[in-house]
Amino acid sequence: MEEVCARFVSQKISKARWRPLPGAALQPPDLFATGSWDNEDNRVSVWSVGDAGSAGLNGEYQGEPQLLCDIRHDGDVMDMQFLDQERIVVASSTGSVTVFRHHQNNQTLSANHRWENAHYHADQYTACGGAACTGVICNNPEIVTVGEDGRINLFRADQKEAVRTIDNADSSTLHAVTFLRTTEILTVNSIGQLKIWDFRQQRNEPAQIFSLTGDRVPLHCVDRHPSQQHIVATGGQDGMLSIWDIRQGTMPVSLLNAHEAEMWEVHFHPSNPDHLFTCSEDGSLWHWDTSTDVSEKPSFLHQGGRSTAYISHSTINQSVVSAWLSNDPTKDRMEITNLIPNQTLSVNTLDVLGPCLVYGTDAEAIYVNRQLFA
Amino acid sequence: GVPTPFNPSHSVSAGFCSRKHPMATGAACVFVVRRDQDIYMETLRKLFNESHGIFVGLQRCEEERAARARNAQLVQVSKNYRSVIRACMEDMHQAASKSVLSGQRFSAFFFQVSILSAMELIWNLCEILFVEAAPAGPLLLRLLDWVQLHICDVDNMVREVLSSENPSKHKLFWNVVDIFVLQGRMDEARHLLSKEAIANPTSMKMYKILDDLMKKMPLGNTQTLTEMELKWQHWHEECQRYLQDGTFASNSHMESICKILLGDENAILEKKELMTTWYHFLVTRLLYSHPTVKPMELRFYAQSSMDMFLGEESSPEPLDTILMAAFEFELHQVIKECSVALSNWWFVAHLTDLLDHCKLLQSHNLYFGSNMREFLLLEYASGLFSHHSLWQLGVDYFDHCPEYGRVYLELHIERIPLNTEQKALKVLRICEQRQMHEQVRSICKIMAMKALRNNRLGSALSWSIRAKDAAFATLISDRFLKDYCERGCFSDLDLIDNLGPSMLLSDRLTFLGKYREFHRLYGEKRFSEAARLLLMLMTAHIAPCSFWMTLLTDALPLLEQKEVIFSAEQTYELMRCLEDLTAGKLDRQKFQDDDVETMKVEMLRLALARNLARVIVKEGTLEGS
């Protein structure tokens, strides 16, 4: 894998996120943030990946991530999300949520705002330790966080107090959260449930609950298809990838045996949603590719004429729609590749944007691949 | 400096900041471990992580069957380790120059760099002698490379001379030529000499002869040993003739070079300051007197070289002792000396493991049973476990210690602090993958207990399911039931309603699930199904006896319905349950403070009787008559 640059960074990486590209930018992302865990002194860091073709500051190997700035973070970085081009929201194992600002002019990071006790265990007297904030998702200016205390918070970036808090939303730990629509979120918990919450409703009950069939294996991550919002993917503690259609039923549409240990993150590619990426405690990172080759279509489509074009168009659409939801053994239509040749320790995090992939491991290394679809 | 207490979590770095100054000349100093030696520790972490990858790769890679391929494989691994050490040195060097360090810390930093450099030096020699096991012929070439790589002052000198306007007039000119000759870098020496010849036409004749001699020197591994020896003998004699003829008499520099070419020890020793070390002297000696030296002959030359070089004034340093042990092919001595001198386990653990893969270490057992490789790996991994973050690396090392690795792992892994659920999950996964069931149970119990105390019943249940801990599941169910009794409604319905197959983990949990189902059926007005379920809970003894009263009380509204729900038989069953319950109670307690209880029993009896009456009539009535 010549396109992959590795860099050992002396801290176990728990989260890595590309900075979002402004508007309809065509160039690949060049900046990402990482968070560490299990250190006495954890850090949130911002890195840049140079353009291919330019030498680094000290003549180092181009393409290797360069540290721009970092800042101390209290507690493990449990989750991280860019709020906008300059601000990063970080969830901590102490239960606090911090908004950091990246100052481009002098390349520094500063803590902009902090919600100190976003997550905590209710009874201070019998409480055994703090409650970590396990997930954060942003839709500028709204920030939603979930935690080990089963609480859901809705913050606004400029407001001190939470806009809305749902206490005891869940009796188990909420592991991850993502936006379904602007007013609805999806959460997954440690008893194998996927829940939809609607903020327009005043009652503190989920709008809908989905459950895994069989054993209630904890779910660790969730992501929604970028364009077809009814398709949701979740990853479980047993490494299973589940695809759900939230328009129908309460059970997953397909279960795919993937990793041998916890699946930590699942991401649909934001602009190529036929591609899905998952990473796991077993040290592997899988690329799931359901995009079908036109040449594999049945022969009648190759005949010329307008009608053919119409058929092929709708068939392609259909294959895109049903690729993830298909109940058929998708083995002949889905290509799955492990992107890591020598796996050792857990891959905790990954992020994809455009042609770029970044992932971080417990072996204290960051990897960047800038030619994902080459 | 301010003394700081020895912090176990810094034991790895403490090991590196060794208590003595083994590698430098001069008095021993004591180094105090400070928390703020972060740059240093950061660089070391890269060393540990990268070498961990190489180590695991070595254990897992399939052994090549052909000896030569296997040898190449192991040499590559050794080179990888060395490049990691060099990268580490480079990083530390850069970090030291970039950061603002005060004088004392600055020198401490460079001291650490010098230790790494010494480690690479030793490892490189071990690679040549043991891993690659270079035979006579290539052996000398490797040793030459080794020397060239590690005496770096030369490059500065060379650059200075070459970049000057008139190199041949530079005061260090002849030093550079000499060092090239001493290191067998003939082409470079000849190149420089040509400049002198141009500048000094009178010495042209001498230059041409010397240049010719240097060009003709046999040096290479493309011929057989006997061929090489023959050629070399021939060449040696030619050099001898020129010297004795007094060809170079007028130019002392060139004459001394010729003497060096002839392997004249005194001439070589004159250039002591240029060579700086006895092992450089050794290699130069061998180059010009015994180029086809066999590995086993090295020891004699090594000892005499060291004696000649050091003379009377200095005694060997620890580094010298280690290198000497290597030249003598005393592997165990090398490892032992390194362990003592370096007082860190990283180096000896990885080197020994590599040598073990080369099948060079006799499996002579140490007195407590495990062999040297395992002992060193265990020590190293234990050190990793005392670090707050590097413990994950330690797991793989323990995995590859067949005798005691598992036991050590079991003991260490229980002591990792579990401050977040995610960390607990990772530790749990490690235990599960190795079938360490006791540790799994223990960790799950700790996490479940914590969750219970924080009133996170769903989390607690999730942990009990993972550990398949029926007893804990019962505990949690009892909590739920207690909550229900106190509040009259269920908390966490999302959990109880969705138990799925995990309901079968414990009887109490099954009861909880079924009881909730009863409530659901009642809420959906499916009364006969609810009734049947309720009765089954008691008669099949799924419900705990303590709960029977509550269940019977729940039956009241069903009995009071306008429509008859319980059949006669079911009513008899209910009555029997009630009698069983009250009979038991009479023995144990008086009813004086249980008026509510008495009233409940009374009401139940009345309701049951009335239901019985109605149902007998209903069942006795013939349809349509």
pLDDT in tens, A201-235: 998 999 999 998 878 899 999 999 999 999 999 99
Mention every residue, 6+ apart, whose C-beta is less than 8 A from residue B472. Answer: B444, B445, B448, B460, B463, B464
Query: Between A128, A172, A237, which is nearest B453 by CB?
Result: A128
pLDDT score of A51 = 63
Mention every residue, 6+ apart, whose C-beta is less than 8 A from residue A277. Answer: A265, A266, A267, A269, A285, A286, A287, A288, A350, A352, A357
Residue A93 C-alpha, separation from nearest chain B C-alpha, in angstroms: 7
A residues 88..107 contacting B (CB < 8 A): 93
Residue at token pair 């009335």: B610
pLDDT score of A308 = 34
pLDDT score of B572 = 87
Q: Which strand ranges, in their side-by-side order, compose the sheet holding A263-268?
A: A263-268, A275-280, A285-289, A335-338
Return the minimum-mean-pLDDT range out of A70-84, A354-368, B516-530: B516-530
The span from the CA of B490 to the CA of B550, in Å, is 14
Task: Determine whether the interchain pair B420/A78 forms a contact, defined as Cβ–Cβ distance below 8 Å.
Answer: yes
State the DSSP string of B570-591. Answer: HHHHHHHHHHHHHHHHHHH--S
pLDDT score of A137 = 96
pLDDT reading at A157 higher than 70: yes
Q: ∠ at Cα A14 (A8, A18), nearest 5°?
A: 80
pLDDT score of B588 = 54
Tell me whether strands A285-289 and A275-280 are parallel, antiparallel or unpaired.
antiparallel
pLDDT score of B100 = 62
The span from the CA of A11 to the CA of A37, in Å, is 7
Is B518 buried (19+), middle (13-18) or exposed (0-12) by CB count in 10 A? buried
The span from the CA of B187 to the CA of B190, in Å, is 5
Contact (Cβ atoms closer than 8 angstroms) between residue B506 and residue B470:
yes
Task: Determine whether the interchain pair A171/B421 forms a contact, defined as Cβ–Cβ distance below 8 Å.
Answer: no
Contacts of B433 in chain A (CB under 8 A): 261
Contacts of B420 in chain A (CB under 8 A): 76, 78, 93, 132, 148
pLDDT score of B573 = 86
pLDDT score of A301 = 39
Nearest to B461 by CA among B500, B419, B489, B417: B500
Total of domains in chain A: 1
pLDDT reading at A371 higher than 60: yes
pLDDT score of B14 = 32
- By C-alpha distance, the chain B residue nearest A218 is B462
**DSSP summary character for residue B391:** H
pLDDT score of A177 = 96
Q: CATH number for the domain including A336? A: 2.130.10.10
Contacts of A10 in chain B (CB under 8 A): 41-43, 45-46, 49
pLDDT reading at A53 higher than 50: no
Mention every residue, 6+ apart, whose C-beta is less than 8 A from residue B547. Answer: B481, B511
Q: How many CB pairs under 8 A join A and B?
A: 154
Q: ipTM greater than 0.90, yes or no?
A: no
How would residue A295 be classed by pLDDT, with cut points 50, 70 and 90? Answer: very low
Residue at token pair 């050099």: B239
- By C-alpha distance, the chain B residue nearest A7 is B46
Q: Residue A17: beta bridge partners?
A: A33
Contacts of A192 in chain B (CB under 8 A): 498, 500
Nearest to B258 by CA among B299, B295, B207, B224: B207
pLDDT score of A306 = 37
Contacts of A235 in chain B (CB under 8 A): none
Query: Between A11, A150, A193, which is nearest B498 by CB?
Result: A193
pLDDT score of A56 = 44
Query: Between A212, A218, A281, which is nearest B426 by CB?
Result: A281
**DSSP summary character for residue B202:** G
pLDDT score of A230 = 92
Residue A8 backbone class (left: φ over 0; alpha: ψ -120 to 50; beta: rest): beta
Task: Determine whether the interchain pair A40/B388 forms a contact, defined as Cβ–Cβ distance below 8 Å.
Answer: yes
What is the C-alpha end-to-end distance of chain A, expressed in Å? 11
Q: Which candidate in B60, B77, B422 is best for mutational testing of the A interface (most A CBs within 10 A)?
A: B422
Task: Provide the domain limits for residue A48.
Answer: 4-369
pLDDT score of B377 = 94
pLDDT score of A17 = 97
The whole-number mean pLDDT for each consecutive block of 10 residues of chain B, a chain of 625 residues, reads: 28 34 42 49 89 94 81 94 93 76 69 88 95 90 90 78 80 87 89 82 82 83 80 89 84 87 88 88 92 91 90 83 93 90 88 91 59 91 92 95 94 91 94 94 92 88 89 88 82 78 86 88 88 87 82 85 83 86 66 70 87 87 68
Residue B608 Cα to chain centre, angstroms: 71
- By C-alpha distance, the chain A residue nearest B60 is A342
Contact (Cβ atoms closer than 8 angstroms) between residue A90 and residue A82:
no
Is B333 buried (19+), middle (13-18) or exposed (0-12) by CB count in 10 A? middle
Contact of A70 with chain B, judged by CB distance below 8 Å, is answered with no
Structure tokens at A177: 């959260």
Contact (Cβ atoms closer than 8 angstroms) between residue A185 and residue A137:
yes
Nearest to A267 by CA among A366, A197, A164, A347: A347
Nearest to A33 by CA among A75, A74, A87, A94: A87
Residue B454 C-alpha, separation from nearest chain A C-alpha, in angstroms: 5
Task: Determine whether the interchain pair B454/A149 forms a contact, defined as Cβ–Cβ distance below 8 Å.
Answer: yes
Helices (H), chain A: 306-325
pLDDT reading at A117 higher than 80: yes
Q: ∠ at Cα B423 (B420, B424), nearest 5°?
A: 85
Q: Please state the three-class secondary structure of B406-440 as a single string.
A: HHHHHHHHCCCCCCCHHHHHHHHHHHHHCCCHHHH
Task: Determine whether the interchain pair A148/B499 forms a contact, defined as Cβ–Cβ distance below 8 Å.
Answer: no
A360's enclosing H/E stretch is: strand A356-361
Q: Is residue A15 part of a domain?
A: yes
The amino acid sitting at B562 is K
pLDDT score of A152 = 96
Name the percent of chain A lying above pLDDT 90. Answer: 61
B119's enclosing H/E stretch is: helix B103-126
Task: Determine whether the interchain pair B49/A190 forms a contact, defined as Cβ–Cβ distance below 8 Å.
Answer: no
Task: Determine whether the interchain pair A364/B46 forms a contact, defined as Cβ–Cβ distance below 8 Å.
Answer: yes
pLDDT score of B172 = 84
Nearest to B463 by CA among B493, B435, B440: B440
pLDDT score of A319 = 43
The amino acid sitting at B409 is L
Contacts of A78 in chain B (CB under 8 A): 420, 422
Name the percent of chain A lying above pLDDT 70. Answer: 83
Contacts of B46 in chain A (CB under 8 A): 8, 10, 364
- By C-alpha distance, the chain B residue nearest A120 is B454
pLDDT score of B589 = 56
Cis peptide leading into residue A141 (ω within 30°): yes
pLDDT score of A145 = 96
Collapsing DSSP to helix, strand or coil, B72 comes out as helix
